[in-house]
Amino acid sequence: MSATPSQEVTQLLNAWSDGDRSALDKLLPLVEGELHRLAHRYMSRERQDHTLQTTALVNEAYLKLIDQKVDWQNRAHFFGIAAQIMRRILIDHARKHLGPRHGGGKTISLDEVPVISDERAAELVALDEALTTLARVDERKSRVIELRYFGGLSVEETATVLGVSGETIRREWLRAKAFLHRELSQN
């Protein structure tokens, strides 16, 4: 009986964590489609003329992922980290676009800045700040939002990554969304 794709990804992640560099070469074709889907989900919220393309986001995230020193638990854990990295890449781009008044201001050329509206960049930064505030209050609720909303993980996958029940994830998801709504409404 052969391993399911999810089991195969988990086995390759474990081998990679144990130092098997060839596992990384075998892993990429198995996760590339899902990474593209995740990146597409992020990019679908951006302007049509955004210069940061889905493939570029996948490539940048992949380069950061292979530098991670993580004891990978499973496929869901991998995609949870990938979602976190993609979110960070987009937030960094948004901050660069907004300039010094929003934590950016690093001197960069226009070719390096994605085309993003000030309004959309400000929304991304505000959401990131609200998630950071939530993480200080309740780290798990922040991770639930990150994994479900940004990572596109199901309730069950999120529960697996965080080691809790699906019912706990459903409850935390609702409370975290309410917290973020309050935080974002105050600004």
The string of pLDDT tens digits covering residues 129-146 is: 899 999 999 999 998 998
The string of pLDDT tens digits covering residues 16-52 is: 888 888 998 899 888 888 888 888 777 766 655 555 6
Which residue reads 């992020």 in tokens? 42
Range of the domain at 67: 5-185
Cβ neighbours of residue 31 closer than 8 Å, sequence gap 6 or more: 9, 78, 79
The count of structural domains within the chain is: 1
Given a cut of 70, the residues of the chain with pLDDT beneath it are 1-2, 44-52, 97-121, 187
